[in-house]
Homo-oligomer: A and B are copies of this chain.
Amino acid sequence: MDFTPHTPDDVRAMLEALGMQDLRELFADLPDALLEPDLRLPAPMSEQEILAHLRELAAKNTPADKAFLGGGLRPHFVPSLVPALAQRGEFLTAYTPYQPEVSQGVLQAVFEYQTMIAELTGLDVSNASLYDGAAALAEGVLLALRQTRRMGVVVSQGVHPEYRQVLATYLHAVGAELRTVALEGGLTPPAEFDDSVGAVVLQSPNFLGAIEDPAPWVEAAHARGALVVYVADPLSLALLKPPGEWGADIAVGDGQPLGNPMNFGGPQFGYIAVREKLVRQLPGRLVSQTHDSGGRRGYVLALAAREQHIRRAKAKSNITTNAQLTALMGAMHLAALGPEGFAEVAAASVARAHALAEMLARLPGVERVTPEPFFNEFALRLPRPAPEVRAGLAERGWHAAAPVPAEYGANLALFAATERHEEDDLAGLAAALKEVFA
């Protein structure tokens, strides 16, 4: 089924208005050689059929709503009001709010989102969203390089390896240099930076879950005029000292833990927040409060001179479509929980993860890799390769033991726990793991 409303009469009347007889005439300006290729696609389906087909495909997956998997995405509980409100057609089917008089819904929601992200990160300003945590990191580093007019970047190995891969792709493109500082004992060691370095990047809690002490890096970076990009899981900011308080200049991260399902990896949203002085370097959309001709408060897109549709080749980024709806879900989630609820979710996640770590570390052949203190994810060294263990667990109905890339060591697996896990789940996983090892 297609969704065109045109009846045969409509088509006839409209063609007639154009002095045409046949729809093919609409494509008369195309070279003949190109016209009407034979597309080999499956036969059309009705709505009923596609849903039946997709349900069959869905049945080939096992849901991960109780997964002990992390790496930045985790199964957190999303209050029912979040999807219900985000799915309202006005939010769902609008585009970029270029016409503010009829877009106050999205604009004000972004303004509030920006405020929440600024509050979480302890920084001054957030933009309206970026694609994901990795893109946010890349944009954050490019921002730092623009500001410092330098081309050197130092990144801790504690930063999510996929984020570092994306960063490398972006930096290669502009010819910047990327140096990685290896973790020691699961933590980022102190480092020194030379004057070519414009951005230093660290993540806390880091990829292995450990809470870093960012102070030495911040101090060393600032001493040499470099800016600090701090990657933070927003859930951790419910409890942990925010990047701004640590002295970071730029905070970035992935918003999935705020009100979004895991979606097999996407979409979620990336956030970026910076100090006031960096605002005009920010990529992407920004919403500002203003007033209308009658003096009423309202909101508009602001500082568009940074953006591609105005500045073209000199724009701060090429980004146009961002992650508005998923960021909106993040804001709704935070609004629904409030500061206390948000802290309680984080605390529950921490408590479950620590209980799980203790439980699993008691299994024979298992070794704790992530040092204390850690947050809600942690790595273990397993007696067997992680993919095998993960497969063994999956057969038993458990999702856990995400393989950690070999650069961090052999047979490492990442575990996470959240407020969605109950005591029974922890015990169930431990028992299953024991079986897999047996």
Binding site for B on A (CB under 8 A): 47-48, 51-52, 77, 79-80, 84, 87-89, 419-420, 422
Contacts and interface: CB of A to CB of B under 8 A. Distances in A.
A8 to B, nearest CB: 13
A315 B422 CA distance: 55
Nearest to A422: B52
A48 B419 contact: yes
A305 to B, nearest CB: 38
Given A48-B77, A48-B420, A52-B422, 5 more contacts: A47-B77, A47-B80, A51-B80, A84-B87, A88-B88
A141 to B, nearest CB: 37
Contacts of A52: 422
Nearest to A84: B87
Nearest to A92: B84
Contacts of A79: 47
A37 to B, nearest CB: 31
Contacts of A422: 52
A52 to B, nearest CB: 8
A77 B48 CA distance: 7
Contacts of A420: 48
Nearest to A66: B52
A80 B77 CA distance: 24
A77 B47 CA distance: 9
A171 to B, nearest CB: 41
Contacts of A48: 77, 419-420
A412 B89 CA distance: 48
A419 B89 CA distance: 29
Contacts of A84: 87, 89
**Which 5 A-B residue pairs are closest in the complex by CB-CB distance?**
A48-B77, A47-B79, A47-B80, A88-B88, A84-B87
Contacts of A51: 80
Contacts of A80: 47, 51
10 contacts: A47-B77, A47-B79, A47-B80, A48-B77, A48-B419, A51-B80, A52-B422, A84-B87, A84-B89, A88-B88
